[in-house]
Amino acid sequence: MDVEKAVKRAVELGASEAEAYLLNTAETSLTLGEVEASKTVRLKSFGIRVAIGKSTAVVGTQDVSDTGIESAVNSAVSIARVSPPDPRWVRMNGNISVKEVGETFDKATAEATPEDLLPIARGLLDAVKEGCREAKPVRGFLTSRALEVIYANTYGGPVERRETLAFLDVEARVDEAGEVGTYSDYSIARSYRKLEPRKTGVEAGSRAREFVKAGAIPNGKYGVITLNRVSDSLLPVMLNPAVSALNVQEGRSPLAGKIGLEIMSDNVTVEDLGASVNTLGSKPFDDEGHPTRNLTIVDKGVLETFLYDTYTANREGRESTGNASRGFSTAPRPSPHHLHLKPGDATFEELLEETKNGVLVMSTIGEWMSNPVSGHLNATITHAYMVENGEIAKPVKNGVVSGNFYEMFKEGLEMIGKDTRHDYGVSAPSLKFRSVTIASK
Amino acid sequence: MDGIKSAVTRLGIQRDWRYIATSDGVDLEYESSLLGFAHMSVAFEAGAMERVSDQESAVAGWEFIEGKDWNQFSASVSRLAKEAVKAPLPPSGRLKAVADPEMVGLILHEAFGHACEGDLVSSGDSILSGKLGGEIASPLVTIVDDGLAEGGYFVPFDDEGSIKTRVLAVEEGVLKSFMTGRETAGILKLQVSGNSRAQDFTHFPIVRQTNFFMMPKDYGFEEIVKEAGEGIYIVGRGATGGQVDTASGTFTFSAGPSRMIRNGELAELVRGVVISGSILETLKGVEAVGKDLKITTSAFGGCGKDNQLARVGDGGPHVMIRELIVGGG
């Protein structure tokens, strides 16, 4: 049963509105290291959301046979019949169309076999040794993935989008006189042929050797440089939930009531690139079939807008920003497609040169445990360098970066680099902050 | 409740059916149900916001939901959020710590359990590689992984069809064994412990913990706090999780609203507590182990590894640790 028929079937069964969402995924991946394996997975997942008046229900299934879909549609209608009405429900998205975002699909990546990926994996493992002869690749992945979404609802469709994605990552380890150094790096692209196995492997191998001698960071306050990839991991943790209109409306965002106010330093501009060419995360329509767009969320420090799906937009009587995001078995929620912090004009070397006594943070874990409701940021440093008089002095590890995210980005932000790193769903350059607390030994 | 700006209550129900047949004759099937109730409250006061969430789950039937007053449960989460929004951050630096059973579970799972997973050990991605038979913890520490522990998750056999056996990972401070699946048991020359688990049929079975916990000893809770003297009592209620870099041995986790310990007694509440440490130092620094064993699981989360989620349980008694790094204000 296709998505249009599923929508019609829901209406026949008594739904006043219905939307159907079909997700096809195909993935081939290699696991690298001592234990090597390959796998290929093809999955079809179907979701149906129905409204009966103001009562709604969502049901998902991975049985996409006619009877499987019929059963899911039946369940959704039955659940909606007994669900309490949501007084804020207005209607599903009525603006179904697509935005031109360039090519998001690479046929070779969609059809890649383990044999196609093997030379890249070998190149990656060799590059680790090139980075350091004693380095051992202890863990890694190489994955190529294709996604296809087909969407229709009572008001229109079907619309269809496809995208491919390839990524690799590797962790290297060096043992020297009883001490251990490690480092990992990754590469992401639309096509597996655009991955950078050599650069990634060399970086992991050579850094792993440097970190054999990593010491402790003395407890204290420092000028802190977050390497671009660390900026990429911190920004979405704090901002994605805070700019969601749902969290704002439900009183769970520290940015509620702050539209038009300066929430960050005036050199900070943050965008959501929903409809940009060559941007990982941009797509022609969101998960409600609404066309995407590029939005400026923070303009020179001033909060301009939150991100809306149809439900949250209807609550305020405005148009969706095209930011609906969902899994096949859950209702849509607003979320950024690709959070982008605009680069400044400082080179990475200039950020270093301007740091008298500081810490260059190369890698963190646990940043996802930060609190986007209170705005308190925490990240545990696994790899960093002490910076003395503008130069990298020595490798260090183990310390907790802690502080209020918005204070860091308002009073604390000194310089913005121009070395943007593009990851899936986020891109940001290296950043330099003044006086950041690091708890350590 | 006044002062509560937002609240979300969730009911979690999971039915997990697994059927495994292999070419060497395994033909096994089981079904389990996991139920849970979770509540999150956001408190607002004087321009500051704080969230606190808590959950209780059990491998059980509907009687688990009927058997408890969940209104009272939610109200107590809200009261804690209201108290926490006014609380300061802890001092930042090294502190002596008393951890409650939930925190002990989280510390063990992150700080030690992952490093005992046979696949990480055999690939060299664990700091415990090559340390079998060595003294890696205080002699007070005994740690097991048990698929059938009371209060934990239910894993009678793994997703390669091996019976899950109880793994004695650490006995009185000595590293005794690792968790294994068929492949890693072969590489490491250990018994197959039945720890090879897959999120679902689209994933490889990889070595995972089941219910990983510390065995109790003889200290009472008040005795531990008194002996700690000065430090922090880290509490699991409201914690959001943890993460470890097994190769370098750095781990981190968040605690819920916790209390400072002053003059051997519990003192003021602190919030935003994040702990970090190094695997080997932390377990060597265990100075007292309580007698009150508690193991818990969750229907709302689990453990992530290689992009797979697995339900797990963890716990222990109250434990005193010489020193942890606390990130605060």
Question: What average pLDDT score do residues A35-51 get?
Answer: 90
How high is the pLDDT of residue B277?
A: 87
Do A435 and A400 fall into the same domain? Answer: yes
Which domain covers residue A338, as residue numbers? 215-441
Together in a domain, B321 and B288: yes
Q: What is the pLDDT of residues A293-336, one digit of tens each?
A: 999 999 999 999 999 999 999 999 999 999 999 999 999 999 99
Of A152-161, B249-258, B312-321, the least confident: B249-258
Contact A323, A240 (CB under 8 A): no
Q: Which of residues 107-166 of B touch A (CB under 8 A)?
A: 119-120, 122-125, 127
Rounded Cα gap, residues A74 and A49, in angstroms: 11
Q: Looking at the structure, tell me whether residues A411 and A340 fall in a common domain.
A: yes
B80 and B106 assigned to the same domain: no
| pLDDT score of A34 | 54
Q: How far apart are CA A375 and CA A377, in angstroms?
A: 6
Q: Which of A182, A373, A439 sits opposite B327 (nearest CB)?
A: A439
| Residues B327, A254: C-beta atoms closer than 8 Å | no
For residue A263, which of A242, A233, A293, A294 has the smallest C-alpha distance? A242
State the Cα angle at B42 between B41 and B47, rounded to 5°. Answer: 160
Tell me, yes or no, whether B168 and B305 share the same domain.
Answer: yes
Is the Cβ pair B252, A376 closer than 8 Å? no
Q: Domain tally for chain B?
A: 2
Task: Note the Cα A65 to chain centre separation in Å.
Answer: 32
Which tokens is A211 given? 């970190």
- A391-397 and A215-216 as β-strands: parallel, antiparallel, unpaired? parallel
Pick A374's closest partner by Cβ from B50, B183, B325.
B50
Are A167 and A34 part of one and the same domain?
yes
Q: Are residues B179 and B250 in the same domain?
A: yes
Looking at the structure, do residues B230 and B254 belong to the same domain, yes or no?
yes
pLDDT in tens, A382-394: 999 999 999 999 9
Asked if residue B65 and residue B208 are part of one domain, the reply reads no
pTM, two decimals, is: 0.91
Q: How far is B134 from chain A (nearest CA, A)?
A: 15
Task: Report chain A residues whose CB lies below 8 A from the CB of B127.
Answer: 180
Same domain? For A397 and A433 the reply is yes
Spatial distance between the Cα atoms of A49 and A329, rounded to a whole number of angstroms:
9
Nearest to A338 by CA among A414, A279, A261, A278: A279
Out of A161, A181, A210, pick the residue that ends a domain: A210
Interface of B with A in 231-260 (CB under 8 A): 240-245, 247-248, 250-254
User: Domains in chain A: how many in total?
Assistant: 2
Select from B51, B84, B117 the last residue of a domain. Answer: B84
Same domain, A13 and A136: yes
CB contacts of B48 in chain A (<8 Å) are: 374
Q: What is the pLDDT of residues B216-246, one digit of tens each?
A: 999 999 999 999 999 999 999 998 888 888 7
B258 and B305 both lie in a single domain: yes
Over 70: is that where the pLDDT of A35 sits? no
**How far is A225 from A383, CA to CA, in rounded Å?**
12
Express each pLDDT in B194-217 by its tens digit: 999 999 998 999 999 999 999 999
Interface confidence (ipTM) of the complex: 0.84
B94, B184, B242: residue with CB nearest A441: B94
Give the closest-approach CA distance of B62 to chain A in angstroms: 19
Listing DSSP states for B204-233 in one string gives --EE--SEEEEPP-SB-HHHHHHHH-SEEE
Domain boundary among B20, B49, B84: B84
pLDDT above 90 (res A177): no
Last residue of a domain, one of B41, B59, B84: B84
Same domain, A168 and A251: no
Domain boundary (A160, A183, A210) is at A210
**B49 Cβ under 8 Å from any chain A Cβ:** yes
Tens digit of pLDDT for each residue in B65-101?
999 999 999 999 999 999 999 999 999 889 999 999 9
Q: What is the pLDDT of residue B329?
A: 57
pLDDT above 90 (res A282) = yes
Identify the domain boundary among A210, A240, A260. Answer: A210
Minimal Cβ distance to B125: which of A171, A374, A380: A171
* Residues A295 and A168 placed together within one structural domain of the fold: no
Q: What is the mean pLDDT of residues B5-23?
A: 95
Same domain, A304 and A226: yes
Both structure tokens of A128: 């680790």
What does pLDDT average to over chain B? Answer: 94
Note down the domain range covering B230. 93-327
Task: Average the pLDDT over A24-49 and give the result.
Answer: 89
The residue count of chain B comes to 329
Q: In this complex, do A366 and B274 lie within 8 Å of one another by their Cβ atoms?
A: yes
